Amino acid sequence: MTKPLPLSDFRARRHVLEAHEYATGGEEIPPTDLIDEETWKGITHLPDDVAVRISNHYGTRLELLYSLWGDWIASTGDPINSDNLFSGMLDAADCFQCATYNLLHGYYRSALADLRSALELVTIGAYGNLKPDDPGYMRWKAGNADLAFPSCRKRLHNVVSARPFVWFVKADAWPEQLYYDLCRYTHSRPDASDGALWESNGPVYNGFAIGLTFRMSLCVYAACYLLAKIGRTSLIVPSDSMIVFELDWLPGHAETARAFKQLFV
């Protein structure tokens, strides 16, 4: 049996936006096919339970992820005079937001898959900024071809082959290692499935999975800022987001710190 949170807890109530609060899009219409209570509870009870438990103990980490997401949105660029990286960074912002939301509700594998998408989208956008007339990239933009991270990484490497930071986009360098590690969760390999991360048959609080998803989120932010800088030399990392380059316990820290010095300093 579940029990409601006390109304003194700010998480006990749901809130909806009023029509005038939408910056763009959205509409407010009366319910036309209201969900029944049993179905609503069946869908929400488990993830709600996990969200309360995780936010009981990981408030500071969630605050950091929320702050990083806000900084990333501010870094996407000028929507009026957008470049080829803008849409990739904007879509990556959605992936980062989804990753944090899925982490909060115990969907760790889905969160990690969202992070892989963010890494891939920024890589494609960076390459598109440097080679906007590349036939493969143009076909991808038109929806007529694939341009996954492995192929795009090779193309990006060829474009910057004479730059000091070229090592960062070589085969088996940190971004590629990170991508393939995230692929394990995207494709639900036996040791990287929902069940393996939950150690259960539904979303549950799991300290190992929470820590893994949090660390990987920071790693992907760091890698994405560096890849975005390769594609847009004017990009600046917001001061509050510099933390992703300063935490020496993060996987790939030595590589991202070295690349940061070559790209930003």
pLDDT in tens, 132-170: 999 999 999 999 999 999 999 999 999 999 999 999 999
pLDDT band at 179 (very low <50, low <70, confident <90, very high): very high
- Nearest CA among 210, 209, 220 for reference residue 251: 220
Counting the structural domains of the chain, the total is 1
Enclosing domain of residue 190: 11-264
- Write down the pLDDT at residue 22: 64
Q: What is the pLDDT of residue 24?
A: 65
The pLDDT > 70 percentage for the chain reads 97
**Would you state the pLDDT for residue 265?**
85
Q: List C-alpha distances in Å: 252 to 27, 79, 107, 156, 220.
A: 44, 32, 24, 20, 10
pLDDT of residue 1: 67
Residue 230 within any structural domain of the chain: yes
Q: Is residue 94 part of a domain?
A: yes
Residue 72 resides in a domain: yes
Whether 5 is covered by a domain: the verdict is no
Q: Would 216 be classed as within a structural domain?
A: yes
Q: Please, what is the end-to-end C-alpha distance for the chain in angstroms?
A: 56
- Mean pLDDT over the full length of the chain: 95
Q: Tell me, yes or no, whether 2 lies in a domain.
A: no
Predicted local confidence at residue 3, as pLDDT: 87
Q: Nearest to residue 184, comparing CAs of 199, 175, 198, 194?
A: 194
- Is 236 part of a structural domain of the chain? yes
Q: What is the pLDDT of residue 23?
A: 64
> Contact 6/14 with Cβ under 8 angstroms?
no
Secondary structure letter of residue 13 according to DSSP: S
Please report whether residue 6 resides in a domain: no
Residue 28 has pLDDT above 80, yes or no: no
